[in-house]
Amino acid sequence: MPLLPLRVLVLEDHAFQRSVAVRMLQALGCGEVFEARDGAQALAVLQAVGPVDVALCDLQMEGMDGLEFLQHVGATGQVKAIIISSSLSAELRRVVHQMVALLGLELLGDVGKPLPMQGLAELLKKPLDRLATPQCPTTSVTLASEEAVRGALAEQQLQAWYQPKFNLHTAEVCGVEVLCRWMHPTQGVISPAQFITVLERYGLLDELLFSQLDQALNLRRRAAAQGFALNMAFNLQAVQLASGELTSTIKAMLARHNTCGSNLTFELTESGLLEAPATSLKSLVRLRMMGCRLSIDDFGTGFSSLQRLCQLPFNEIKLDGGFVRTVEHEARCRAVISSTLALGKSLGMSVVIEGIETEAQRQQLLALGCTLGQGYWYARPMSGEDFLRWLQPRDESQIRP
């Protein structure tokens, strides 16, 4: 077997299991394999031999356990990647997975116990593939200048794009989320990551919102002429609620477009609402008094209390797409989705599931009782003209683009 250019440290307190792991790694061709019975000895080994590519790490052991070891190497950078091998429950190992990510370590996988040779071999391919592939230097996102963003707003280059929401049972369009794309005349489509922060920094979020409202309400009128009465959902930052002119401007725009507030939904992330001041609450109430719907976006990712949820005048929950990605094989994610559906029903709030990308996910969500969804399985965000063409009558069996 060819020699693999990997340095691997085995951290395991059970002598026999440790020797099995060492022999298995050697049989797989790892160039250097080191071993330690607990975290303290593992740190001493690293001090003596230098950094390693992979640590095969048990979690529960006498002396320094695997958790403390991970915290040490996360701070020192002596280990590039981690493979978890533990007999702890899947529930606790999932929490450790999150801890590994927060420590800045790469988690190659979790092989459990007893150690499977084929599974271990598959995980070791990941760092080998990385070594074999030329790595491009990572670059941070370059923010656009204030002048460029102001110019884009003035020249209407910040265009509203639309991603449909749909009924999971019938595949009927029941609304759209209005997103933003910068259509630059020479650079093409510019990522929102390059300009949304700039808009927030210089107090331009309201100007963007009003521009999107104008574009979207014009599009809604055209869609209505095709027989589609759509609710248009807009992202709203909690900081915008403090503006005394927000609700009066929205009310004036509704009058100008001869439409009512029930055709609009405003989506706010829950993290920004944890300590909403009185002025923000006043804006939320006024939006509801105008008939607008209010949605808590990315529900489940922030730290708002359920008591806060009851206090605020929302009538929709958008469950974060992270729960959907693992719905097929994570019982806890299915439980969270079911509980959120029950919570929404008891509070009189509709629940929209984000991030649906596969038919298998849709079927699983249907089995859990979900009705409303959004995601690439159904449609990706598209420009206004593309959206109107997409709405044209079509065979329901070919509903996805």
Residue-by-residue DSSP string for 338-377: HHHHHHHHHHT-EEEE----SHHHHHHHHHHT--EEESTT
What is the Cα–Cα distance from 250 to 243, expressed in whole angstroms? 12
Q: Which of 57, 51, 49 is nearest to 17 (CA)?
A: 57
Catalytic (active site) residue 200: no
Phi, psi of 301 (to 5 degrees): -105, -15
Q: Which of 396, 400, 398, 322 is nearest to 355 (CA)?
A: 322
68, 267, 354, 357: the active-site residue: 354
Q: Tell me what pLDDT residue 5 has.
A: 81
Domains, the chain, in order of start with CATH, read 4-132 (3.40.50.2300), 146-398 (3.20.20.450)
Say if CB 142 and CB 196 are below 8 A apart: no
What is the Cα–Cα distance from 242 to 296, expressed in whole angstroms? 17
Walk along the chain (401 residues) and give the pLDDT tens digit of each residue: 446 788 999 999 999 999 999 999 998 888 899 999 999 999 999 999 999 999 999 999 888 999 999 999 988 889 999 999 998 887 788 778 878 888 888 999 898 888 898 889 889 888 776 655 444 444 456 888 999 999 999 999 999 999 999 999 998 999 999 999 999 999 888 888 899 999 999 999 999 999 999 999 999 999 999 999 999 999 998 889 888 899 999 999 999 999 999 999 999 876 666 656 666 788 899 999 999 999 988 786 655 556 666 778 889 999 888 888 888 878 888 998 999 999 999 889 999 999 999 999 999 999 999 999 999 999 999 999 999 999 987 544 445 54
Q: Tell me what pLDDT residue 228 has.
A: 92
At a CB cut-off of 8 Å and minimum separation 6, what does 178 contact? 160, 161, 162, 212, 216, 232, 233, 234, 235
Residue-by-residue DSSP string for 258-298: T--GGGEEEEEEGGGGTT--HHHHHHHHHHHHTT-EEEEEE
Say if CB 46 and CB 18 are below 8 A apart: no
